[in-house]
């Protein structure tokens, strides 16, 4: 007789209730978590979820809102010296929790926050082109990711919709979950030379290659002055003298397949690639540009952090043809953008057909470049110097940088030479040495030092570690009411003003404060993540947006909130707090988060980190269990403990409802 996966999972869960304490399994009830949001962390989120548990048919794909289901390679944690408590974990062959399953759709941060705060039938996923749920219809999600923090208006909308009498999802939770360096990604091939018998690639001559996790992953050097000038359109060619100086005073041209004479005369134009959609990655990038670039450029186009690049809303450019929910269109509110000086050139990259075309050559119905709309049937694809071509999603940006199809190359004035030279900003999980990635990353000046660092998990964690969690005074993250920091009481992200935005102490009970302390403009800018004193300088957080109250029927225990077990399992396992699998076997604490060469975690292999140890402790003690007396008394926890031993899981399973936060109704929630 064939046993279905549901039968198997129910049987597995049942065994945890009837087993003795000596033989109990650390198994959670059957659960399917659903999430949406940031594309920058889409790959790592799906890989993490699949490592915790995956469906009987195989690994879950990564969904996109353009109706794609993308295969994500399974993770492998292979410490150099495995032990009983720190074993190898091959996600393709073993599961931590067989009853667990998670699905994720990359919609962009803006849509992710909307799905979270509206708590409805995913309003951004309407079924129109570019707004499709490839998994079918979901009534609500259990979590979202966004690199752009939740705003005051987001929270107000949440309280009106998600935490009303009908839904009662409980107080909002926003915590940094993934730490992401934003790479300045480039294609190592800047052009092609067909002047000889065969066409050959012309590659950048980087004199000091740099590595991530022991693998050469780029190293083209950019100090703060250089990258500020490039992204503000002041340096527009790779033959610029400043870039030569940074390259050990050596030209960047390919000394074998190119000539110095040609390079000196025309070089290779820098083709900028950015995001078309509302993007948390853009929020991290623009925040850094606004904080770091004023003294290096004549006019800094970036005057604030936003999910969109600087844009002149009096122009005719309308990117809604490619991405319907974007804000790049005429008369769009200026508050949507990180500045009002134009940074878009009007070109878009269509990742489905692998074409670059003018925005007006995109078919609004199909969201694809359409040659019938182009003059003479030929796409317009020559960029304007210093202005961005935009693409949909992080993967779209990466593909736009990487593609070398002829219609995206610029003809040189020299016959037989075509030039590419693209540079863009994208999450570092889209560059080497991540499996399947071919893009290189620039080595970027760290703070004001003479050091150049790559966008690795280790360097991102160093930048993040310069800031303490809210209501903490020590690196341990222990709860303290003596935290001297204050934020604006009306809007914690804005400068304190005694009349319009009076000061209030930081508070773990305010979900906005978990982000505001990272980017607080009331303290010197060098002490925030917008311009960190050390580590990788363009680092941000992907914030997990979730709920306090959860539902989800467990057929074995009426009223049991399976979704609650699932979300805590996801978070605590990622942080290395749960170190047992469903049969009480060991799971290494560094399986996901390890950054050391001897215990490189699954996240670090994708150039992604988790918050520093103090932040992990603060998040765990506040939300994932009823923490020590003072913090536990804040009553912010999702459930009062999480399973780490067989005895623990017996207690949780047998009295499941007693573990709800008392503000929750067991029949309602996410």
Q: Which pLDDT tens digit goes with each residue over 593-637?
A: 999 889 999 999 999 999 999 999 999 999 999 988 899 999 999
CA atoms within 13 A on the CB side of 107: 33
What CA–CA distance (Å, rounded) separates 624 from 546?
A: 12
Query: Same domain for 356 and 271?
Result: yes
Number of independent structural domains in the chain: 2
User: Does residue 352 lie within any of the structural domains?
Assistant: yes
Asked whether the predicted pLDDT for residue 105 surpasses 50, the reply is yes
Query: Same domain for 211 and 258?
Result: yes
What is the pLDDT, as a whole number, of residue 16?
A: 37
User: Does residue 492 lie within any of the structural domains?
Assistant: no
Determine how β-strand 143-146 pairs with β-strand 173-186: unpaired
Query: Same domain for 109 and 203?
Result: no
Query: Same domain for 289 and 390?
Result: yes
Question: DSSP of 208-220, one letter per residue?
Answer: S-EEETTEEEEEE
User: Does residue 334 lie within any of the structural domains?
Assistant: yes
Q: How many residues are given for the chain? A: 670
User: Does residue 505 lie within any of the structural domains?
Assistant: no
265 touches 411 (CB < 8 A): no
CA atoms within 13 A on the CB side of 233: 18
What CA–CA distance (Å, rounded) separates 638 from 626?
A: 8
Query: Same domain for 206 and 163?
Result: no
Query: Same domain for 230 and 329?
Result: yes
Burial tier of 32 (Cβ tally within 10 Å: 0-12, 13-18, 19+): middle
Query: Same domain for 237 and 386?
Result: yes
Which of 458, 479, 510 terminates a domain? The answer is: 458
Query: Same domain for 601 and 646?
Result: yes
Where does 9-84 show beta strands of DSSP type E?
A: 31-37, 62-64, 68-70, 76-77
Asked whether the predicted pLDDT for residue 407 surpasses 70, the reply is no
| Mean of pLDDT values over 535-555 | 87
| Mean of pLDDT values over 39-46 | 92
What is the pLDDT, as a whole number, of residue 530?
A: 92
What CA–CA distance (Å, rounded) separates 644 from 348?
A: 49
**CA-based nearest residue to 178, from 148, 143, 155, 147:** 147
Of 117-126, 433-442, 456-465, minimum mean pLDDT range: 117-126
210 touches 197 (CB < 8 A): no
- Percentage of the chain surpassing pLDDT 90? 70
What CATH code is carried by the domain that includes residue 388? 3.40.190.10
pLDDT digits (tens, 9 = 90+) for 482-494: 999 999 999 999 8
Query: Same domain for 137 and 235?
Result: no
Question: DSSP of 478-506, one letter per residue?
Answer: -B-TT---EEESS-TTSPPBTTTB-EEE-
User: Does residue 518 lie within any of the structural domains?
Assistant: no
361 touches 369 (CB < 8 A): yes
What CATH code is carried by the domain that includes residue 151? 3.40.190
What is the pLDDT, as a whole number, of residue 411?
A: 67
Which of 415, 436, 458 terminates a domain? The answer is: 458
Three-class SS state of 184: strand
pLDDT digits (tens, 9 = 90+) for 186-228: 999 999 999 999 999 999 999 999 999 999 999 999 999 999 9
Of 12-16, 95-99, 340-344, 655-659, minimum mean pLDDT range: 12-16
180 touches 45 (CB < 8 A): no
Helices (H) and strands (E) in the chain, counts: 15, 26
Which of 458, 489, 514 terminates a domain? The answer is: 458
| Mean of pLDDT values over 333-359 | 96
CA dihedral 314, 320, 321, 322 (to 10 degrees): 120
Query: Same domain for 165 and 189?
Result: no
Long-range CB pairs of 245-250, under 8 A, 24+ apart, other chains included: 246/221, 246/222, 247/205, 247/206, 247/207, 247/208, 247/220, 247/221, 248/207, 248/208, 250/205, 250/207
Query: Same domain for 338 and 206?
Result: yes
Non-local CB neighbours of 615 within 8 Å, separated by 6+ positions: 176, 464, 469, 477
Which conformational region is residue 607 in: left (phi greater than 0), alpha (psi within -120 to 50 degrees), or beta? left
| Mean of pLDDT values over 61-90 | 92
User: Does residue 502 lie within any of the structural domains?
Assistant: no
| Mean of pLDDT values over 230-249 | 98
CA dihedral 550, 39, 447, 491 (to 10 degrees): -50
pTM attached to this predicted model: 0.86
User: Does residue 616 lie within any of the structural domains?
Assistant: yes
Instruction: Using alpha carbons, list the distances in angstroms from residue 298 to 272, 313, 456, 552.
Output: 19, 22, 31, 56
pLDDT digits (tens, 9 = 90+) for 247-283: 999 999 999 999 999 999 999 999 999 999 988 899 9
What is the pLDDT, as a whole number, of residue 124?
A: 65
Q: Whole-angstrom distance between the N-terminal and C-terminal Cα of the chain? A: 36
Asked whether the predicted pLDDT for residue 107 surpasses 50, the reply is yes
Q: Which residues of 593-613 are buried (b: 16+ CB within 10 A; e: fewer)?
A: bbbeeebbbbbbbbbbbbbbb
User: Does residue 306 lie within any of the structural domains?
Assistant: yes
Query: Same domain for 248 and 156?
Result: no
The CA angle 338-343-348, to the nearest 5 degrees, is 110
The domain in which residue 17 lies consists of 5-172+547-659
Non-local CB neighbours of 625 within 8 Å, separated by 6+ positions: 637, 639, 640, 641, 642
């Amino acid at each position: 007789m064939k046993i279905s996966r549901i039968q198997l999972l129910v049987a597995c869960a049942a065994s945890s209730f009837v087993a003795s304490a000596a033989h109990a399994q650390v198994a959670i009830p059957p659960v399917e978590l659903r999430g949406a949001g940031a594309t920058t962390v889409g790959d790592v989120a799906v890989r993490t979820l699949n490592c915790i548990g995956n469906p009987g048919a195989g690994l879950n794909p990564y969904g996109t809102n353009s109706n794609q289901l993308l295969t994500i390679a399974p993770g492998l944690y292979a410490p150099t010296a495995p032990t009983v408590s720190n074993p190898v974990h091959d996600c393709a062959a073993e599961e931590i929790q067989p009853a667990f399953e998670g699905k994720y759709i990359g919609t962009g941060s803006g849509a992710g926050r909307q799905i979270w705060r509206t708590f409805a039938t995913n309003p951004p996923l309407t079924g129109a082109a570019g707004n499709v749920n490839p998994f079918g219809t979901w009534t609500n999600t259990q979590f979202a990711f966004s690199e752009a923090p939740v705003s005051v208006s987001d929270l107000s909308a949440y309280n009106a919709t998600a935490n009303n009498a009908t839904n009662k999802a409980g107080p909002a939770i926003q915590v940094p979950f993934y730490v992401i360096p934003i790479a300045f990604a480039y294609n190592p091939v800047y052009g092609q030379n067909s002047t000889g018998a065969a066409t050959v690639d012309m590659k950048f001559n980087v004199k000091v290659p740099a590595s991530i996790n022991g693998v050469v992953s780029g190293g083209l050097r950019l100090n703060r002055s250089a990258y500020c000038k490039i992204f503000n359109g002041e340096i527009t060619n790779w033959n610029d003298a400043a870039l030569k100086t940074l390259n050990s005073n050596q030209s960047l041209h390919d000394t074998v397949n190119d000539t110095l004479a040609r390079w000196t005369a025309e070089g290779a134009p820098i083709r900028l690639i950015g995001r078309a959609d509302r993007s948390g990655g853009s929020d991290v990038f623009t925040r850094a540009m606004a904080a770091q670039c004023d003294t290096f450029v004549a006019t800094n186009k970036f005057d604030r952090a936003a999910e969109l690049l600087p844009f002149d809303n009096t122009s005719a450019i309308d990117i809604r043809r490619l991405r319907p929910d974007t804000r790049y269109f005429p008369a769009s509110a200026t508050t949507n953008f990180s500045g009002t000086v134009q940074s878009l050139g009007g070109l878009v990259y269509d990742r489905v057909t692998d074409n670059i075309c003018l925005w007006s050559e995109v078919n609004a119905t199909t969201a694809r470049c359409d040659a019938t709309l182009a003059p003479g049937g030929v796409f317009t694809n020559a960029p304007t110097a210093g202005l961005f071509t935009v693409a949909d999603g992080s993967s779209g940006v990466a593909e736009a940088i990487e593609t070398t199809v002829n219609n995206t190359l610029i003809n040189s004035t020299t016959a037989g030479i075509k030039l590419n030279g693209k540079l863009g900003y994208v999450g570092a999980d889209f560059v080497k040495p991540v499996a399947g990635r071919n893009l290189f990353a620039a080595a970027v000046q760290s703070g004001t030092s003479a050091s150049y660092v790559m966008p690795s998990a280790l360097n991102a964690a160093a930048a993040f570690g310069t800031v303490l969690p809210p209501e903490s005074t020590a690196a341990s993250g222990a709860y303290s009411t003596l935290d001297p920091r204050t934020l604006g009481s009306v809007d914690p992200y804005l400068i304190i003003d005694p009349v319009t935005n009076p000061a209030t102490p930081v508070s773990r009970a305010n979900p906005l404060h978990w982000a505001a302390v990272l980017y607080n403009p009331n303290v010197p800018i060098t002490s925030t993540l917008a311009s960190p004193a050390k580590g990788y300088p363009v680092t941000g957080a992907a914030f997990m947006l979730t709920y306090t109250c959860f539902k989800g029927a467990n057929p074995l225990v009426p009223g049991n909130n399976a979704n609650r077990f699932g979300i805590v399992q996801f978070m605590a396992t990622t942080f290395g707090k749960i170190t047992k699998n469903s049969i009480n076997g060991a799971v290494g604490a560094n399986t996901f988060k390890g950054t050391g060469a001897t215990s490189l975690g699954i996240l670090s292999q994708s150039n992604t980190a988790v918050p520093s140890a103090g932040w992990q402790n603060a998040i765990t003690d506040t939300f994932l269990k009823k923490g020590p007396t003072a913090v536990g008394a804040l009553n912010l926890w999702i459930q009062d403990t999480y399973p780490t031993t067989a005895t623990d899981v017996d207690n949780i399973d047998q009295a499941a409802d007693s573990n709800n936060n008392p503000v929750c109704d067991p029949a309602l929630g996410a």
